[in-house]
Structure 1
Amino acid sequence: MTDRQYYAPTGGLPPQTQLLTDRAMFTDAYAVIPKGTFSDIVTSFLPFWEKSRFWVIARPLSGFAETFSQYIAEVSPGGGSSRPESDPAAEAVLFVVEGTVTLTLAGNEHEMGPGGYAYIPPGSDWALMNDGGVPARFHWVRKAYQPVEGLDAPDAFVTNERDIAPTPMPDTNGAWATTRFVDPNDLRHDMHVTIVTFQPGGVIPFAETHVMEHGLYVLEGKAVYRLNQDWVEVEAGDFMWLRAFCPQACYAGGPGPFRYLLYKDVNRHMTLGR
């Protein structure tokens, strides 16, 4: 597999001379958080994390997207946590975009560099440290696991994108492919976090309109993305947040691949609100 690029924010503040006009937007159907908004002043700190800060780019909002939260974590050398998760019902996916972290999961240590991916089941005993000499940055997707009687919770695993061949979408001649980290037929999982890749000129050739909520973080490249009734230009470092049934499509702009980390909720009945 060719070398992959993974955009990661580094913080800082724009100069006082910068124009205020930007691509950031929040609507009833979607939100766009462009890379230029990832400044120092919008980071959060979390209990029991040392030398770490977080850009919170999605959280459950009533009437919008309600199933997940997503952070971009920045852990400085010597930082990390031995108590990272305070919610025993939360499952997680970690995806490393810069630097190296040591993930201790069920007593086993895993060194994770760029492209590293971990699935952490609810109630897991885990810890994460940056033992290197440079900051590490990774995505942390959290969801309240929805158990189903008769199905076990999924098993924990750690892998890397480079070890998984993308699956081409049918009838696209390889222009659109998905890197799947779990078997779509494994109904123990109630969320999928995948990587979607479009070659230059590749498209989603119809307006997808479906029940799954989405978080899309652009890892590489640029595209014009259809969100509800709008066409929006996006590039590496931007985040798109879509509620259920928001129409979506895209044209990949080139000159290189357009790639994004994608969250969606799957494999469960709809809550009926009783």
Structure 2
Amino acid sequence: MTGKYYHPKGGLPPQTHLTTERAIVTEAYTVIPKGVMTDIVTSTLPGFTNTRSWILARPIAGFSTTFSQLIVEIGPGGGAPVAEFEKGVEGVVFVTKGKVNLTLDGELHALEEGGYAYLAAGATWGLANVSDDIVSFQWIRKAYERLEGYEAKSFVTSDAEVEPTAMPDTNGAWKTTRFTDSSDLAHDMQVNIVTFQPGGAIPFPETHVMEHGLYVLQGKAMYLLNDDWVEVEAGDFMWLRAFCPQACYAGGPGEFRYLLYKDMNRQIRLT
């Protein structure tokens, strides 16, 4: 899978560049296209060295309610001995470029492109770029909602190690790579990879309680967001509020793949 995942390059458009872009923010959804992820909108992260980030989602009014999502880029020699400071926060790291060393509760794991780590709330972990090139990864964070009798455990795997599951009645045109079992109540979220073959589609407007963050890893598609059809491509990010109608069809010529966050497996709190 080397080299197949999109990562931002930064930089800044020239003064002759058209201002028009595909960025849109609504109450039901947001699209942050790859073209707006420039150097001037990056943030440094506490505890990290030689690192910058693009913050794609955070809990604010009218936007994300359950998670934050970042693109993180670490230069050679950079990283953080301790990356997560909030003890009640779980996370997922998915590497889109380069190689990075993950130290997780005292164990060293070498993550390459496509590498995936679930980092349980309370785990001690850090990252170090020991290569001569940048490493880029998606970092999704959520406050873990504990359930009596269950406890999510950290693990490390990769896109290549997990066999995608074909969705029913799609002849393999729509598959989902699930890194955790959907029925495992220890997990209150999933971060999966969804894959469509050219022409593959979600053939109905999904309307459900799960909030979504979608980062397009490969390809392009037309995506239905609420009542708007929006064209998206590798490097774009979408946020969808709970119950936002959604569907898509993949445009080709290659696969359309995205990293998908959703909250799940918990009762709705009313008091």
Cα deviation 1:132-179 (Å, max 9, x = unaligned): 00000000000000001222x211110111011100000000000000
Partner of 2:183: 185
- Tell me the TM-score normalized by structure 1: 0.97
Amino acid at match of 1:158: V
Partner of 1:231: 229
Alignment of 1:138 with 2:137, yes or no, is yes
Cα deviation 1:96-142 (Å, max 9, x = unaligned): 00010000001110000100000000111111100000000000000
Using the alignment, how far apart are the partners of 1:50 and 1:124 within structure 2? 21
Partner of 1:173: 171
Contact 1:191 1:264 in 2 (8 A): yes
Using the alignment, how far apart are the partners of 2:55 and 2:170 within structure 1? 34
Cα deviation 1:41-77 (Å, max 9, x = unaligned): 1001111110001100011123432000000000000
Using the alignment, how far apart are the partners of 2:11 and 2:163 within structure 1? 36
Using the alignment, how far apart are the partners of 1:213 and 1:165 within structure 2? 25
Figure out how many residues of one structure are paired with residues of the other and give that number. Answer: 271
Of all paired residues, the percent bearing the same amino acid is 61
Contact 1:33 1:239 in 2 (8 A): yes
3-state DSSP of counterpart to 1:75? strand
Question: 1:242-261 to 2 correspondence within 5 Å?
Answer: 242-261=240-259
Contact 2:2 2:113 in 1 (8 A): no
Contact 1:8 1:98 in 2 (8 A): yes
Identify if the C-alpha distance between structure 1 residues 53 and 137 changes in structure 2 by more than 3 Å, giving closer, same or farther: same
Partner of 1:7: 6
Alignment of 1:54 with 2:53, yes or no, is yes
Amino acid at match of 1:130: N
Partner of 2:21: 22
3-state DSSP of counterpart to 2:257? strand
Contact 1:101 1:131 in 2 (8 A): yes
Cα deviation 1:198-252 (Å, max 9, x = unaligned): 0000000000000000000000000000000100000000000011000000010
Partner of 1:110: 109
**Alpha-carbon deviation of 1:4?**
6.7
**Alpha-carbon deviation of 1:183?**
1.1
3-state DSSP of counterpart to 1:262? strand
3-state DSSP of counterpart to 2:160? helix
Amino acid at match of 1:261: L
Using the alignment, how far apart are the partners of 1:138 and 1:64 within structure 2? 22
Amino acid at match of 1:30: Y
Amino acid at match of 1:71: L
Identify if the C-alpha distance between structure 1 residues 50 and 4 changes in structure 2 by more than 3 Å, giving closer, same or farther: closer
Using the alignment, how far apart are the partners of 1:102 and 1:3 within structure 2? 17
Query: Over aligned residues, Cα RMSD in angstroms?
Result: 1.0
Unpaired segments ≥5 residues, structure 1: none
Alignment of 1:154 with 2:152, yes or no, is yes
4+ residue runs over 3 A deviation? none
**Alpha-carbon deviation of 1:265?**
0.2
Using the alignment, how far apart are the partners of 1:241 and 1:255 within structure 2? 25
Alignment of 1:93 with 2:92, yes or no, is yes
In the alignment, which of 204, 216, 222 is matched to residue 218 of structure 1? Answer: 216
Partner of 2:200: 202
Using the alignment, how far apart are the partners of 1:47 and 1:3 within structure 2? 30
Contact 1:65 1:244 in 2 (8 A): no
Unpaired segments ≥5 residues, structure 2: none
